[in-house]
């Protein structure tokens, strides 16, 4: 009996890469899986339902339970239909894994408004719409006397945590998702809902394009970049076993699970009076000398 036996999970962007790995892993642990994917290209263009259908076929062939769903997570009404489809098919909903995303890589000086808006739309609005409808369902369940034992699992990124050259929009969106997770965890615990985020490093359409050298590990004894390495932690976060864990961001790569330490107060100096502009430089020099060196932005020397 798996650790997610009879739990129902919606996974967005579940037809390929990490999402597919999550779907297969959840199903192997007994979960009912809603494979949501509209089948777009890496930059968010086009539609193809066959990829989601293929993942569902894999799960069913292995003895699992799954349905395909092709609704657009950025559409408010469509996002509710995803939740409704999960409940109609399996009788309940326990987990939302917000995994879908696009990328429009561009140096900031060349970035366009359309690329910026498209990236924010899919990542931030997409995370909001589906989670918001799921929370409505879980709150109603609790008010009716039930125990939601629910999970929101968001997807941030190393780019969102430390920045990445040529990915200003993507980094900004992923940083916003990390902050959203903290707020969700603080607000939703009273309803039996936890919220955590992932910053996964694995081989996907997105990372093969941006970090080709790092992703080329398939011939190694242990394929560090195999998306399947990320799935066990995601499945555990979706299980009842993780009920006490919320408001965390986990950076995952290969066999490594790392808990992000987050923003916290660093060195400080207090004059106890108003500063003169000419005095500030020396104070800042002192603060910089006493800080923990920050992680470098991805792509810098």
- pLDDT, tens digit, 9 for 90 and up, residues 212-232: 565 555 567 899 999 999 999
State the catalytic residue, choosing from 80, 137, 141, 157.
157
Active site annotation includes 170:
yes
State the catalytic residue, choosing from 22, 80, 137, 174.
174
**Domains identified in the chain and CATH numbers:** 8-259 (3.40.50.720)
Active site annotation includes 157:
yes
Burial track 230-264 (b if 16+ CB lie within 10 A, e otherwise): bbbbbbbbbbeebeeebbbbbbbbbeeeeeeeeee
Residue-wise pLDDT tens digits, 163-210: 999 999 999 999 999 999 999 999 999 999 999 999 999 886 555 555
What's the first-to-final CA gap in the chain, in angstroms? Answer: 48
Active site annotation includes 214:
no
Asked if residue 41 has pLDDT above 70, the reply is no
Q: Model confidence at 46, in pLDDT bands (50, 70, 90)?
A: low
State the catalytic residue, choosing from 22, 80, 141, 170.
170
């Amino acid at each position: 009996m798996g650790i997610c036996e009879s739990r129902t999970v919606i996974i967005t962007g579940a037809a390929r890469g990490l999402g597919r790995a999550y779907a297969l892993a959840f199903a192997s642990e007994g979960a009912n899986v809603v494979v949501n994917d509209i089948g777009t290209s890496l930059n968010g263009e086009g539609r193809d339902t066959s990829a989601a259908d293929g993942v569902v076929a894999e799960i069913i062939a292995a003895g699992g339970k799954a349905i395909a769903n092709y609704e657009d997570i950025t559409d408010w009404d469509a996002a509710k239909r995803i939740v409704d489809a999960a409940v109609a098919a399996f009788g309940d909903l326990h987990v939302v894994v917000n995994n879908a995303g696009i990328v429009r890589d561009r140096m900031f000086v060349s970035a366009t408004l359309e690329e910026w808006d498209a990236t924010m739309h899919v990542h931030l609005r997409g995370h909001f719409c589906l989670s918001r409808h799921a929370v409505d369902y879980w709150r109603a369940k609790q008010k009716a006397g039930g125990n939601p034992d629910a999970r929101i699992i968001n997807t941030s990124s190393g780019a969102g945590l430390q920045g990445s050259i040529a990915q200003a929009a993507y980094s900004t969106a992923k940083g916003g998702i990390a902050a959203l997770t903290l707020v969700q965890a603080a607000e939703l615990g009273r309803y039996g809902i936890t919220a955590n985020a992932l910053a996964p490093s694995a081989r996907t359409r997105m990372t093969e394009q941006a970090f080709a050298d790092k992703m080329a590990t398939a011939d190694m004894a242990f394929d560090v970049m195999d998306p399947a390495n990320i799935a066990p932690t995601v499945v555990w976060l979706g299980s009842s076993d993780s009920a006490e864990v919320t408001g965390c961001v986990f950076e995952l790569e290969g066999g490594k699970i790392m808990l992000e330490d987050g923003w916290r107060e660093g060195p400080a100096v207090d004059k106890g009076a108003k500063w003169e502009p000419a005095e500030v430089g020396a104070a800042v020099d002192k603060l910089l000398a006493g800080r923990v060196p920050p992680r470098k932005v991805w792509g810098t020397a």
